Structure 1
Amino acid sequence: MQERRLSDWLPTTNKEVKIRGWEELDVILFSGDAYVDHPSFGPAVIGRILESYGLRVAIVPQPSVNDNLQDFEKLGKPKLFFAVTGGCMDPMVSNYTASKKRRDKDAYTPNGDKGFRPDYATSVYSKILKEKFPETPVLIGGIEASLRRVTHYDYWSDKLLPSILETSKADMLVYGMGEQPLREIVELLQKGVPFESIKTIKQTAVFIDKNEELPKNKNWEDVEINSHEACLKDKKTFASNFKVIEQESNKLFAKRIFQSIGNRRLIINPPFPTMTEDEIDASFELPYTRLPHPKYNKRGPIPAYEMIKFSINIHRGCFGGCSFCTISAHQGKFIASRSQESILKEVDTVANMDDFKGYLSDIGGPSANMYKMKGKVQSICDKCVAPSCISPVICSNLDTSHKPLTKLYQAVDKHPKVKKSFIGSGIRHDMLVPEFNKNADPKELDAYTEEVMTNHVSGRLKVAPEHTSDPVLKLMRKPSFKYFHKFKERFDNINIRKKLNLQLIPYFISNHPACEVEDMANLAAETKDMGFQLEQVQGFTPTPMTVATVIYYSGYHPYTMKPTKTPKTKKEKDEQHRFFFWYKKENKAWIKNTLTNLGRGDLLNVLLPENNSWRKNKGGKTRNTFDETITESKEPRRKNRSKKRNSSYNDNASSNNKKGGKNKQYRSVMKKRR
């Protein structure tokens, strides 16, 4: 690989600016992340995009906010504007766990060191810049700004906050992926249009005074949502806003959204159309060094970079629309795919890196298997308002062919320096099940599954069914757990036939809206019966701009306006999470007591068969044997369980139990019950 000079990176200091021979900067970008010049790092992408428009751009990564604030003044004042981003993650997610404990590491900082990114970084940086340079426009973007563009619930302060434009004092917000709006903003500025006059660029948000005339655009329809003040007064009012926000965010021809905040009006302009193949290829082919800035050489590796340095991003967007996920809110639900030629060009670049050992860590995207997928008839997509293309069923207009992806994997593996390419991104396993993906060719789905299992997995294939309860899954916008059973059958068949000895690792979430203790007990029982001892688990974390977060705060589902219960106290959350770890000694007594009190001895006998004296009959005699307990009350219990909120355990449980089936009586009884 070519030897790098300091000037190959965007300048970060006055010395580096002088090396380039610049006397003045057009844009100065402030970022909550360390500077990694790589297309997977948003701040680098924005810097390179601005550079490609002929601008002189510098970046100030992780400026100190705990001293005399010299980092905010060291490069002076830019000619056009300051750009601010909190980084690749919302700083509150980066700094805190789901239980609000401060994290020990920051993945986007050298050596994983914490303390280099302030809470609410975008607002902190922007306010400092507005105080020091009040006449210079500040443009904010990135995921923190994108997801906080309207009134939103902030989990970490437990408050309803206004648009980040209000808290940051910035002049404009770019939401979503920034290439397209930045292009138009820069074009207008280069023509001499004043920054304060730019108010009708798609995918941007600005404030105007309430008595100011609305910016005109004859091609847009308008919709007004409830004011920030109205949301503060009534949680149901706040919840009702979200349906409008989500639907307009996911439309190809969306309305302009207004919201009153104090004596001003927030204007959120419609999004741009999905990036074309040429546009997204161009973004990935900018002159990145693909390396952290040399200033970090002595500080240690940057964990997030180490994870992706040998990976390839092949598309953006996700049409899953999961209720707890922010991907579609930021990247959109329509898929923007790179050309195979562009991807192979990047593979060649990576393969020729000095420390490349022949292994690509990931060929993927937000969901690994959505590459090249789009509507068969575009005019149908043009009118669609559904937040998900695959929930509750896969849209008949969606082309879910996995053939282009299978061919891409095979083309990548033909590179002479690539020994193996892995799929590290999450795979939508439900799309590989013909019973769910009814419009796809089953042979094509099997060919993709076999390709992944045979050539692109290192011992473990990770998928995310998320839960076993159908009511919870419905709210999550995920399919019934029965389709995970179907996928596991196909996985096991290929595993045996190909003698692969692979493990299937499912991800699950506790504490999600609509989830109750019994649902978690069912989850534990059903997954144990399938042979899993769960490891990849997490508690639900409310993040702005998701259905689940709106429900968590307000108690109402924004689409139905029906009350929906959510575990909120620490005790409720801890108890639900404990069911994941039924196999730990310290949890067994608690599980026994909880399930006994709930009258769910059927689940207790699955999870802890050694606790076999859970119930007394009417005569006061204890039933002492596990086999007796099952056989004597088999039919009544089946009938009772069918009325429970989660029937999938009873209907779909697999008989290939490994962990829980060591007891021969248990296995024979479970077999009889099916």
Structure 2
Amino acid sequence: MNASKIAIDAKMPFPRNKREMQALQWECCDFILVSGDAFVDHSSFGPTIIARVLTDLGYHVGVIAQPKWDSSDAFQVLGQPRLAFLVSSGNMDSMVCHYTVNKKRRHDDAYTPGGKTGARPDRAVITYCGRIREAWGSVPIVVGGVEASLRRFAHYDYWQNRVRRPILFDSGADLLVYGMGEKAIAEIAEALDAGLPIDQITYIRGTGVMARELPDDAVVLPSFEKVSEPTREGKRAFAEMTNLIEKSANPFKAHPTVQPCGGRYFVQNPPQLPLTTQEMDDVYELPYTNQQLGGGPEITGMSEMHFSITSNRGCFGSCAFCAIGMHQGRIVSSRSRASILNEAKRMTQDPRFKGIINDVGGPTANFLHPACAKQLKTGPCANRECLFPEVCPNIDADQSEFAEMLQALRQLPGVRKVFVRSGIRYDYLMADPTRAAFNELVCHHVSGQLRVAPEHLSDRVLHYMGKPKFKQYDQFVQKFNRASEKHHLKQYVVPYFISSHPGSTLQDAVVLAEYLRDHHLEPEQVQDFYPTPGSRATAMYYTGLDLESFQPIHIPKGREKRLQRALLQYRNPKNRSLVIEALKRCGREDLIGSGRKCLIHPQNQRPKQHKRSRRNRKGGK
């Protein structure tokens, strides 16, 4: 095939092989990005943002997406990069992508064309780096993305049930970028382009490196050897390490955080400062084509992402089971209203656009500015949460900016409806003294069902989750229902619950099942707690300790996890035997029988349906 017949879109100049490089008249790539995902030129994909940022700075970026990893051949198709290989597992940790919480292989892959599985290896970052070393020896390798970021320190690996070393040790990479990497990758590129050897690029914020000597003024974590001991002392050290790592996420603290490992040190430099509004606008206004490199079947959910808008990043919610704060940080950055509107206007010019914006948001849709002004001066409080156990009295809860943004979007010509599907914090919404965001959301932006996440009913379990007391959820639902009835809107709150979270007992799950029964809820999906790297709840799961008091707490494991999940879907006939077993374990045989309050009825007998329960099959009253 000659170069003239190679289809290279000038708007998406990311060659996949040498022929495509020649079509672009490149002698070589400056950077080669290796990703476990299909490469989609859309701002929902972290590797794509990095590629676009570097391209905007004038660098040539080649892409090797989902390479075959059984040999090094696939890593040689673009030759050797002038500056470095950039390696990411993609938008998800590869182990989470591959395995369910029961450690069974998933049947599809949301980031592979056609949803096919098997396009990436387990522990993709480690495997890719190994193949690159085979092909190119000491070429510079920079790792980043969720898998590298959340495994940067010693971490509990659920699939092997042991603590693994910081990922730089196992991958053999030279440099790690953690968090949102736009600023860090720009500084790395500048240093490499100036001729600085990769082993001397040890000073950039938002990166981690290996060192032979302990840096000055460092916060020293317990060593890998200590936290990996499967003893009481080792697990206490792991819990202490988790608390210290969380405190290291403050970009206004100038000290590096260091973990000894095997006679060397993993050194985490302080985080990058969060992007300003102008910097966020610049990133999201790069010329993304919203096309999939190489064509082929679309990845799962691309149609949903295609007409969704990212408005913010970062989260000050600090839920224990979530690692967003560890990755994106607790200080919220957001785009300007003008930038968001410009993206929406571009959508209306797309012939596939049907007038519906599927989502506007981020980790939490109604977080459009930092929790308080202090965060932009000294960072998040070290010993205080913004929303837990109550909303901080110093919080800036005025969400009129969120309301005005939504209102402006829905009034654009060509836009029929704007939905908010990425989740809201109802406790923060209730704290807004203006009520503008609540009224705007309820009246115009709910697609029949508003999904919110109380997560559990037990206030004790909610405490371990870092979530508000359940009464706040009840108050929100009552307020939402009154407003919906006032405006003659048939819409409902859909609650999400997590089963078998650390601290949750089987008795707690029974009480939650009774709540579902009394409110005529039949959740089609229940999130069974998944101990993934980087979260406080995963540390609780591994250590069996409350990270505040260091006292033992109940940890559901093994069969009990199945029982707790089954209780939350007790109406499913497939769960019948599990639910019966759970109820008998708890001494709640009173819930087995023909009474109206029973969860399990005699075979071939289904309880009389509440006249509204079918409508409420997924949601609340």
Given the two structures, how large is their TM-score scaled by the length of structure 1?
0.85
Q: 1:7 to 1:496 in 2, by over 3 A?
A: same
* Cα deviation code 1:319-342 (max 9, x no counterpart): 111100011111001100001111
C-alpha displacement at 1:376, in angstroms? 3.3
Q: For the residues of structure 1 that align with 2:109 and 2:297, how far apart are their CA atoms? A: 13
Matched, 1:11 2:8: no
1:374 counterpart SS class: coil
Which residue of structure 1 aligns with residue 69 of structure 2?
A: 65
Matched, 1:43 2:35: no
C-alpha displacement at 1:531, in angstroms? 3.0
Larger radius of gyration: 1
Residue 534 of structure 1 aligns with an amino acid whose one-letter code is P
C-alpha displacement at 1:223, in angstroms? 0.7
Q: 1:607 to 1:659 in 2, by over 3 A?
A: farther
Which residue of structure 2 aligns with residue 25 of structure 1?
A: 29
Which runs of 5 or more structure 2 residues have no equivalent in the other structure?
Answer: 1-6, 603-609, 617-621
C-alpha displacement at 1:529, in angstroms? 1.7
* Cα deviation code 1:415-442 (max 9, x no counterpart): 1111111111011122233xxx3xx31x
Q: For the residues of structure 2 that align with 1:584 and 1:199, how far apart are their CA atoms? A: 55
Matched, 1:124 2:113: no
Q: 1:461 to 1:154 in 2, by over 3 A?
A: same
C-alpha displacement at 1:592, in angstroms? 5.3
Residue 547 of structure 1 aligns with an amino acid whose one-letter code is R
1:76 equivalent among 71, 75, 79:
79
Q: For the residues of structure 1 that align with 2:376 and 2:349, how far apart are their CA atoms? A: 43
C-alpha displacement at 1:195, in angstroms? 1.6
Q: For the residues of structure 2 that align with 1:65 and 1:556, how far apart are their CA atoms? A: 39
C-alpha displacement at 1:536, in angstroms? 3.4
Which residue of structure 2 aligns with residue 493 of structure 1?
A: 482
Q: For the residues of structure 2 that align with 1:484 and 1:328, how far apart are their CA atoms? A: 23
1:317 equivalent among 314, 318, 321:
314
Residue 53 of structure 1 aligns with an amino acid whose one-letter code is L
User: For the Cα contact (< 8 Å) 2:580–2:600, is it kept in 1?
Assistant: no
Residue 225 of structure 2 aligns with an amino acid whose one-letter code is E
Q: For the residues of structure 1 that align with 2:598 and 2:135, how far apart are their CA atoms? A: 68
1:226 equivalent among 222, 227, 239:
222
Which residue of structure 2 aligns with residue 639 of structure 1?
A: none
Which residue of structure 2 aligns with residue 575 of structure 1?
A: 563
* Cα deviation code 1:145-198 (max 9, x no counterpart): 000001001111212100110110000000000011112212222332222111
User: For the Cα contact (< 8 Å) 2:8–2:20, is it kept in 1?
Assistant: no
1:514 counterpart SS class: coil
1:23 counterpart SS class: coil
2:366 counterpart SS class: helix
* Cα deviation code 1:91-134 (max 9, x no counterpart): 11111111111111111111111110111111110111122212
More divergent stretch after superposition (169-178 vs 253-262): 253-262
User: For the Cα contact (< 8 Å) 2:316–2:371, is it kept in 1?
Assistant: no
Matched, 1:513 2:502: yes
Matched, 1:355 2:344: no
Within a 5 Å distance, the mapping from 1:235-634 to structure 2 comes to 235-250=235-250, 252-293=252-293, 295-296=294-295, 299-378=296-375, 381-382=378-379, 384-386=381-383, 388-433=385-430, 437=431, 440-441=432-433, 444-445=434-435, 447-569=436-558, 571-585=559-573, 587=575, 591=579, 594-595=582-583, 598-600=586-588, 609=597
C-alpha displacement at 1:255, in angstroms? 2.8
C-alpha displacement at 1:288, in angstroms? 1.1
User: For the Cα contact (< 8 Å) 1:473–1:480, is it kept in 2?
Assistant: yes
Q: For the residues of structure 2 that align with 1:611 and 1:343, how far apart are their CA atoms? A: 48
More divergent stretch after superposition (402-411 vs 391-400): 391-400
Q: 1:20 to 1:387 in 2, by over 3 A?
A: farther
Within a 5 Å distance, the mapping from 1:187-202 to structure 2 comes to 187-202=190-205
Q: For the residues of structure 2 that align with 1:6 and 1:421, how far apart are their CA atoms? A: 31
C-alpha displacement at 1:500, in angstroms? 1.1
Q: 1:304 to 1:592 in 2, by over 3 A?
A: closer
Which residue of structure 2 aligns with residue 634 of structure 1?
A: none
Q: For the residues of structure 1 that align with 2:357 and 2:165, how far apart are their CA atoms? A: 42
User: For the Cα contact (< 8 Å) 1:151–1:161, is it kept in 2?
Assistant: yes
C-alpha displacement at 1:544, in angstroms? 0.7
C-alpha displacement at 1:65, in angstroms? 1.0
C-alpha displacement at 1:588, in angstroms? 5.2
C-alpha displacement at 1:558, in angstroms? 2.9
C-alpha displacement at 1:454, in angstroms? 2.2
Q: For the residues of structure 1 that align with 2:299 and 2:585, how far apart are their CA atoms? A: 49
Q: 1:613 to 1:174 in 2, by over 3 A?
A: closer
Q: 1:611 to 1:245 in 2, by over 3 A?
A: closer
More divergent stretch after superposition (572-581 vs 603-612): 603-612
More divergent stretch after superposition (507-516 vs 230-239): 230-239
Q: 1:378 to 1:484 in 2, by over 3 A?
A: closer
C-alpha displacement at 1:60, in angstroms? 0.7
C-alpha displacement at 1:609, in angstroms? 2.6
Q: For the residues of structure 1 that align with 2:388 and 2:185, how far apart are their CA atoms? A: 33
Matched, 1:169 2:172: yes
C-alpha displacement at 1:46, in angstroms? 0.6
Q: For the residues of structure 1 that align with 2:236 and 2:599, how far apart are their CA atoms? A: 45
C-alpha displacement at 1:258, in angstroms? 1.1
Matched, 1:103 2:119: no
Q: For the residues of structure 2 that align with 1:231 and 1:591, how far apart are their CA atoms? A: 37
Q: For the residues of structure 2 that align with 1:354 and 1:613, how far apart are their CA atoms? A: 53
1:303 counterpart SS class: coil
Which residue of structure 1 aligns with residue 607 of structure 2?
A: none
Q: For the residues of structure 2 that align with 1:79 and 1:380, how far apart are their CA atoms? A: 39
Q: For the residues of structure 1 that align with 2:556 and 2:578, how far apart are their CA atoms? A: 18
1:302 counterpart SS class: coil
Q: 1:590 to 1:313 in 2, by over 3 A?
A: closer
Q: For the residues of structure 2 that align with 1:267 and 1:511, how far apart are their CA atoms? A: 34
Q: 1:475 to 1:190 in 2, by over 3 A?
A: same
Q: For the residues of structure 2 that align with 1:659 and 1:515, how far apart are their CA atoms? A: 27
Q: 1:379 to 1:341 in 2, by over 3 A?
A: closer
More divergent stretch after superposition (329-338 vs 593-602): 593-602
Q: 1:58 to 1:579 in 2, by over 3 A?
A: same
Given the two structures, how large is their TM-score scaled by the length of structure 2?
0.91
1:110 counterpart SS class: coil
- Taking only the aligned residue pairs, the percentage that are identical comes to 38
C-alpha displacement at 1:589, in angstroms? 6.4
User: For the Cα contact (< 8 Å) 1:251–1:384, is it kept in 2?
Assistant: no
Residue 449 of structure 2 aligns with an amino acid whose one-letter code is R
Q: 1:163 to 1:338 in 2, by over 3 A?
A: same
Q: 1:81 to 1:380 in 2, by over 3 A?
A: closer
More divergent stretch after superposition (556-565 vs 343-352): 556-565
Q: For the residues of structure 2 that align with 1:593 and 1:62, how far apart are their CA atoms? A: 44
Q: For the residues of structure 2 that align with 1:5 and 1:223, how far apart are their CA atoms? A: 49
Q: 1:452 to 1:604 in 2, by over 3 A?
A: farther
Which residue of structure 2 aligns with residue 672 of structure 1?
A: none
C-alpha displacement at 1:466, in angstroms? 0.4
Residue 523 of structure 1 aligns with an amino acid whose one-letter code is L
* Cα deviation code 1:468-509 (max 9, x no counterpart): 011110010000111111011011111211121112211000
Q: For the residues of structure 1 that align with 2:105 and 2:440, how far apart are their CA atoms? A: 41
Q: For the residues of structure 1 that align with 2:65 and 2:536, how far apart are their CA atoms? A: 33
